[in-house]
Structure 1
């Protein structure tokens, strides 16, 4: 039961943070939907979400072992 609750919590956190990803600099939510294995690092160790976004990057700390601050996809529209 604890694992199920943990996954639910992670899902809620991921969905909650995805709405605010990149909002500060006009990035669309779709620009920050980058598969974990394709993320290009845009930050540095211990970068905060605010610092990351101020660099024009996306922030998602829900997956360990990959960059949390990463370059957004280029908007083609």
Structure 2
């Protein structure tokens, strides 16, 4: 296996592991890039990532003591 191919594969696997805690089904990563202090709760205790996404919300359980299911940022499109 070529060294470059190996590193690309390693990075892809690492990113897949990292993103497992974050589920943004149907939402862009930009919409879910909400600072922890600005998160508006969108779920309820024990909400699953799937239930959260079904509500149109972002799920990120990587930061303790903040809402894990939260409202996404609204993407705005500039038109002139």
Query: Does the pair score TM above 0.5?
Result: yes
Output the TM-score relative to the length of structure 1.
0.71
Task: Extract structure 1 runs of 4+ deviating beyond 3 A.
Answer: 12-15
5+ long unaligned stretches in structure 2: 1-14
Counterpart of 2:23 (choices 21, 24, 41) is 21
Q: Which has the higher helix share?
A: 1
Paired position in structure 1 for 2:39: 39
Output the TM-score relative to the length of structure 2.
0.69
1:56 aligns with 2:62: no
5+ long unaligned stretches in structure 1: 1-11
Number of corresponding residues: 64
Instruction: Look up the SS of the partner of 1:50 in the other structure.
Output: helix
The structure whose Rg is larger is 2
